[in-house]
Amino acid sequence: MAEQLIIYLKDSHSLDAEWVFCHSNGELKTPVDTGSIAELADKNKNAIAEAVEIFCIINAELMHFSYQSIPANNMQRALQAIPFVLEEQLAEDIELMHFATSKAEQNIYPVAAIRHECLQQILSSLEQYAIHPDYIYPDVLCLPRAENSWVFFNSDDRTSINQGSNTIIHSDQQMLPLILQTLLQQAGDKLPDSFEVWSSETAASQADFAVPESLQVNRHEYTSAVSLFSTNLNNKKLVNLLQGRYQVVKDTRQWWKPWLLAASLAAVLLCLELVSGIISLNKISNENTLLSAEINRIYKQSFPASKRIVNARVQMESKLKSLQKTSGTASSGFIDILADIAPVIQQKSNIKIKDISYRNRKFEIQVTTDQLSHAESLLQDFNKLQSVKAELISSTSESKRVNARIKLEPL
């Protein structure tokens, strides 16, 4: 796929043109071709549709080009002032003119003025062949230019002179020496360092003119203007005529083409994820409903006297706490103490439990053993616990057995 299409519309009436497809760095991808715009569209329909950018170069004689000093901080403000600055310089009514500019250097703005009718005719002629340019530039500005030089563009019997920071002048070959002499006189001591003369093969022999000896004349010959322009189209100082009402609204669909498959797959995955989430949410909701019903059932079974259920879990916890306080089985109740003393008793294999009673938050344990020291050892282990206080109530000997009673109180 060609990245750029460059069209040099040499005649806006006959639509005689040169064109070439090239890469963004100016490297040509196809040979230069010539013919009408109709032939261009017929030969390259698919390539035109796939081109990322389309440049249309037109004859600079179709417009008035100059540099103007405008005290404006940005292009929008400059464009508002430009028609009034040029009003005295233009033969046409400014209402009939379209104005375009680009970035300024020290408030010096390059200004192109072209009739709306002319620009609309060019755009309409291209549009009927499905060609929608992104940029329209004057030809002489697209030529390579050395610092502090004047650029001459000779094509057939016409010459355009770009004076760098002054008005672009157009002349035929016969009037060129006289016009050039006048321009040099007007320049005075601000002469350029060189003339850069670009001529086609047919116009090269006709481009002779006299210049001061102090000026260097560098002559260049080209076979194709459009290939010459392709190397200079990335110049930020070029004035694109497609501004304001003619500004291009870029169709971004072509940028999506490489990502269309990935975007489609991502959309499908997102939909599947959403469906999976909805299914999981419904499943959790159903389980929550069943769990709530089970909690209510247990609550009714546990508290049959309770008629009104607002929040079964909270109500159940509240009633359990109330029961614990009423029965005296709060934080250090029966279960808590039993859980602490049971491991101690299990470790004493030489002691047997005869009886355990629990009353008023106190345990009373009756044990038998063959020696009183074993009962005292059990008592000491109980007192090592941080949750209870142990006390030996009584001990008796009977048939070589010792019976002992131990009382346990929560701390």
- 353-399 pLDDT, tens digit per residue, is 888 888 887 888 898 988 888 888 888 888 888 888 899 888 888 87
- Tell me: the pLDDT tens digits for 299-352? 777 777 776 777 777 777 777 766 665 554 444 567 778 888 888 888 888 888
Q: How far apart are CA 159 and CA 175, in angstroms?
A: 10
The whole-number pLDDT of residue 357 equals: 85
CATH class of 334-410: alpha beta
Token readout for 393 is 């109530």
The whole-number pLDDT of residue 199 equals: 86
User: Can you tell me the mean pLDDT for 236-259?
Assistant: 76
Buried residues in 9-35 as b, exposed as e (16+ CB within 10 A): bbebeebebbbbbbeeeeebeeebbee
The whole-number pLDDT of residue 387 equals: 83
| pTM reported for the whole predicted model | 0.59
CATH class of 4-251: alpha beta
User: Can you tell me the mean pLDDT for 94-110?
Assistant: 89
The whole-number pLDDT of residue 167 equals: 81
Which single residue is written with the structure tokens 């006048």?
A: 182
- Break the chain into its structural domains and give their ranges: 4-251, 261-327, 334-410
User: 27 versus 257: which is more confidently predicted?
Assistant: 27
The whole-number pLDDT of residue 1 equals: 46
User: Can you tell me the mean pLDDT for 29-56?
Assistant: 90
Reported confidence tier of residue 133, pLDDT bands at 50, 70, 90: very high
